[in-house]
Amino acid sequence: MTVNAETQAGGNTWQNLPAAQQPEYPDQEALRSVIEELASYPPLVFAGECDLLRSRLGAVAKGEAFLLQGGDCAEAFDAVSADHIRNKLKTLLQMGAVLTYAASVPVVKVGRIAGQYSKPRSKPTETRGGVTLPSYRGDSVNGFDFTAEARIPDPERLKRMYHASASTLNLVRAFTTGGYADLRQVHAWNQDFVKSSPSGQRYEQLAREIDNALHFMHACGADPEEFKTVEFYASHEALLLDYESALTRTDSRTGRLYDTSGHFVWVGERTRQLDGAHIEFASQIRNPLGVKLGPSTTAAEALEYVERLDPDQEPGRLTFIVRMGADKVRDKLPELVEKVTASGATVGWITDPMHGNTFEAASGHKTRRFDDVLDEVKGFFEVHKELGTHPGGIHVELTGDDVTECVGGGDEIFVDDLHQRYETACDPRLNRSQSLDLAFLVAEMYRDQ
């Protein structure tokens, strides 16, 4: 049982340090009362689940498993619906099946889901048609609408984030353990998709092979429990420290602190300052952690993250999520991997091929080219091959819906198509077809490494 801690000794040490990217709430009293209420709510995840994920990520760090982490850039309150959640989950399950089967590697599945409501921004304000307003910082902070009223940070939104995360997680748990994720459904996940898309057809072929293997095993008398449910975890960026801290509780089994807002949390590229509040907060919790590493990361910084966040050098505790950009990963990554490996730490290395490859199309849409995404993944694999280290996984922004936000892919989306279904509240996501394309290509790279 994880219980509410009255005060989290050690859990609030971040409060004296500079915290980047926090909202400026006009009403501090209202904020305090929301935090108090959040602290009384039940945890969203159980500490034991976080421990299990840490051991799974230990296998990733040791080269025995592959991490698939994906979901929206920003979840939105009005997208907490059965259809959206199911479509996202289905896409991740299909990608997981492709990677497991085609790359013959155990796949650890983690959603950017049930808590990914807060966004760091490069600019504090946004200007449209001569009007300047505070930037949208995610549904947990303010509204997406471009009006002065919507953009005021409202602490009540933190409670909505909690409830939205709870209902999402509830449905995800129901789907993943209640039969929907049973491997024998491998065809069913594809039903609404197969005819219309080349990647759907390619998937159908793979699903047939999996089906044959399952029938063969069944005929031999094997019906393993592992095929009936899927281990699936929730993750998000630990950005809003008031929220994360209110959900941080002492685990009564171990007396250690866990951030019970999700299984895995990461510190983003804009908040990874070594003397800042986010790294301090992360150092106090037992959850498995991620740190995003952008192109300016030095080897000394990477070593310091290990020192601060993984002092016991425990495989699975720390995963570096590398987001250099396709044009930089081959130059910048080798030194980081070399020095961290030489330090004796066994961290996970995964590639986020999205955030270093964003550009603005002439139409004004923020987009990414599928080929750049693929090229960054290729570069990431090349670096690890050269160094004899393990390319541990991918971290992608995707949706299960047929949106038109990234260009390229087998079922090609052109710049002129972007306006058709551009629905993201923040960064452009791969649609289902592009996600499956990526899974097949990554499986090939993994097999060939």
> Which residue in 268, 315, 353, 409 binds ligand PEP (CB under 6 A)?
268
Query: Which residues contribute to the annotated binding site?
Result: 73, 112, 269-270, 292, 323, 355, 397, 427
Q: How far is the CB of 270 from ligand PEP (least distance, A)?
A: 6
Q: Rounding to the nearest 10 degrees, give the CA dihedral for residues 379, 54, 117, 295.
A: -30
CB-nearer residue toward ligand PEP: 375 or 427: 427
Q: Which one of Co ion, ligand PEP, none is in contact with 372 (Cβ closer than 5 to 8 A by kind)?
A: none
Q: How far is the CB of 354 from Co ion (least distance, A)?
A: 6
373 binds Co ion (CB under 5 A): no
CA distances from 158 to 74, 113, 172, 269 (A): 15, 16, 21, 22
Binding mask 181-220 for ligand PEP (x = CB under 6 A): ----------------------------------------
292 binds ligand PEP (CB under 6 A): yes
* Residue number, nearest CB to ligand PEP: 268
Please report the beta strands in 85-158, taking only residues with DSSP state E, as ranges in sequence order.
Answer: 107-112, 125-128, 131-134
Return the residues of window 338-377 that contact ligand PEP according to CB under 6 A: 355
Stretches 62-70, 102-110, 210-218, 266-274: which one binds ligand PEP (CB under 6 A)?
266-274
Stretches 18-26, 139-147, 263-271, 374-382: which one binds ligand PEP (CB under 6 A)?
263-271
73 binds Co ion (CB under 5 A): yes
Report the DSSP pairing between strands 318-322 and 289-293. Answer: parallel
Q: Which one of ligand PEP, Co ion, none is in contact with 75 (Cβ closer than 5 to 8 A by kind)?
A: none
**Chain centroid to CA 437:** 19
Q: Which one of Co ion, ligand PEP, none is in contact with 441 (Cβ closer than 5 to 8 A by kind)?
A: none
> Which residue in 34, 53, 73, 172 binds ligand PEP (CB under 6 A)?
73
CB-nearer residue toward Co ion: 51 or 405: 405
Instruction: Report the length, in residues, of the chain.
Output: 449
Q: Determine contact, residues 387/378, Cβ cutoff 8 Å.
A: no
Query: Which residues contribute to the annotated binding site for phosphoenolpyruvate?
Result: 112, 269-270, 292, 323
Report the DSSP pairing between strands 248-251 and 2-3. Answer: antiparallel
Tokens of 48: 């034991």
How many chain residues bind ligand PEP (CB under 6 A)? Answer: 10
Q: Determine contact, residues 377/444, Cβ cutoff 8 Å.
A: no
Report the DSSP pairing between strands 131-134 and 66-71. Answer: unpaired
269 binds ligand PEP (CB under 6 A): yes
323 binds ligand PEP (CB under 6 A): yes
| Residue whose tokens read 């030489």 | 342
Q: Determine contact, residues 247/287, Cβ cutoff 8 Å.
A: no
Which contiguous run of DSSP H or E holds residue 53?
Answer: helix 47-61
Return the residues of window 116-135 that contact ligand PEP according to CB under 6 A: 120
405 binds Co ion (CB under 5 A): no
Instruction: Tell me 387's DSSP state.
Output: H
269 binds Co ion (CB under 5 A): no
SS3 291: strand
332 binds ligand PEP (CB under 6 A): no
Query: Which residues contribute to the annotated binding site for Mn(2+)?
Result: 73, 355, 397, 427
Amino acid at 322: V
Distance, CA of 341 to CA of 324 (rounded, Å):
19
Distance, CA of 336 to CA of 328 (rounded, Å):
13
Binding site for ligand PEP (CB under 6 A): 73, 120, 237, 268-270, 292, 323, 355, 427
In the complex, the residues that contact Co ion under the rule CB under 5 A are 73, 427
